[in-house]
Structure 1
Amino acid sequence: MTVTCAYAPSLAWPLIHHPEAAGEARRITKDVLARWQVADEPADSVLLAVSELVTNAVEHAEPPLNLRLSHDLYTHRVHIEVSDGGPAATDGDWAAGCTPDEHGRGLEIIDFLTTAHGDRLERGHAIHWADVHTTA
C-alpha cells in the first residue's frame, strides 16, 4: 500500500524581530509560492496575510519570531503560521506612535483574505495561523 502525503513539505524560517521582518517574510514566501506554482492572485493574498501576521508579531509580541508555510495539495490551501514569544508589555514603536484610526485593521484584512485563521498558545509562545485557498 502506497501512502501519499497531501502536503508539500512544511518549511520554517526564524526571522529577526525588527520592522524589516515583514519584508523578509514576503521575500521568503514569494520564492516558496513560486516553487509551489501558486497562481499570482492567490499568491498575493498569501503574501499580504504573511505580511500582516509578521507585522502584528513585531508590533505587539516578544521575540522569537518564526514563519512556517505548508501547502495542502488536495485542498489547495497554503497554511501560514507565525509564532512569537507572546504578548509584549508595550506596543512597538510604530503602533505606539499611531492614533487609533491609523492601525488595527490587520484582523479585518486577514478575515477578508483567508478561509480560516486563529491563534493557539503553546508553552512559551503564541502561534497565529491562517489558511489561504490557492485556486483562482
Structure 2
Amino acid sequence: MYATTPCVGPAGGPLPQPGPTASEGDSPAAVASCPLPNEVSQNLDHRPQAVATARRTTHRVLEGWHITGERADAVMLVVSELVTNAVEHAQPPLTLHLHREHTGDRLWIGVSDGGPAPHHGPWTTSCTPDEHGRGLHIIDALADIHGIRTHSHGNTTHWARLTT
C-alpha cells in the first residue's frame, strides 16, 4: 500500500516504504495507523485466499478513512465479490485499488486482473448453476455505478463506485 509519510511500525521503528503498490505480504495493519493517502493499491496472489487478504486490507483502510457502519459493510461486500470474480474468472496478476474521491463522499473500488481466463476456477466448476452467479447482482444493488475497463495490454479492471 501507499505510505506518504514515514510511519511508526508495531515495534516502534519506521515502516518500510513499499512504493506505490504493496504486495500481499506487507502489513496493512501497521500502515492503517499512519495517515492514509486517498489511493491505496495492493497486489494479491491469484488464489482463493486473496479474498480474505483484500477484506483485511479494505477493513483497515476504511477504518483509517473513518468509513464505518452499513457503508463500510457494503464496501467490504463489493470488494469480496470483485476479488472472487477475478480469482474465479480471470488470469493473474491481481491488484486491489481503493480510491477515496474528494467530492461527494464517494469511494472507487477497482480490481485489476490479467483478462479473462480460458476456464472457470475450481469453486465455480464444483458448483451447480444455482450456487453461483449472483456477484454482479449484489454489486449492482450496492454500487451507485459499476463497470469494466479493458486496457490496451489485455488487462481488465472491474470497478464500482459507492457513496460512503
Could you state the TM-score of these two structures normalised by the residue count of structure 2?
0.76
Q: Does 1:35 align with 2:51?
A: no
SS at match of 1:45: helix
SS at match of 1:66: strand
Q: Which runs of 4+ in 1 moved over 2 A?
A: none
Which of 103, 121, 124 is the equivalent residue of 1:74? Answer: 103
Q: Does 1:109 align with 2:151?
A: no
The one-letter amino acid paired with 1:57 is A
Measure how far apart 1:73 and its partner are.
Answer: 3.5
In the aligned structure 2, how far is the partner of 1:9 from the partner of 1:72?
7
Identical columns (%):
52
| Aligned residue pair count | 127
In structure 1, the gaps of 5 or more residues are: 1-7
In the aligned structure 1, how far is the partner of 2:142 from the partner of 2:102?
19
In the aligned structure 2, how far is the partner of 1:15 from the partner of 1:88?
17
Write out aligned runs for 1:1-136 (5 A): 9-122=38-151, 123-134=153-164
Higher relative contact order (CA 8 A, sep 6+): 1
In structure 2, the gaps of 5 or more residues are: 1-36
Measure how far apart 1:40 and its partner are.
Answer: 1.4
Match in the other structure for 2:8: none
In the aligned structure 2, how far is the partner of 1:30 from the partner of 1:40?
11
Moved more, 55-64 or 70-79: 70-79
Root mean square deviation, CA, Å: 0.8
Higher strand share: 1
CA deviation profile, 1:106-135 (whole Å, cap 9, x unmatched): 01000011000000100230000001111x
The one-letter amino acid paired with 1:106 is G
Could you state the TM-score of these two structures normalised by the residue count of structure 1?
0.91
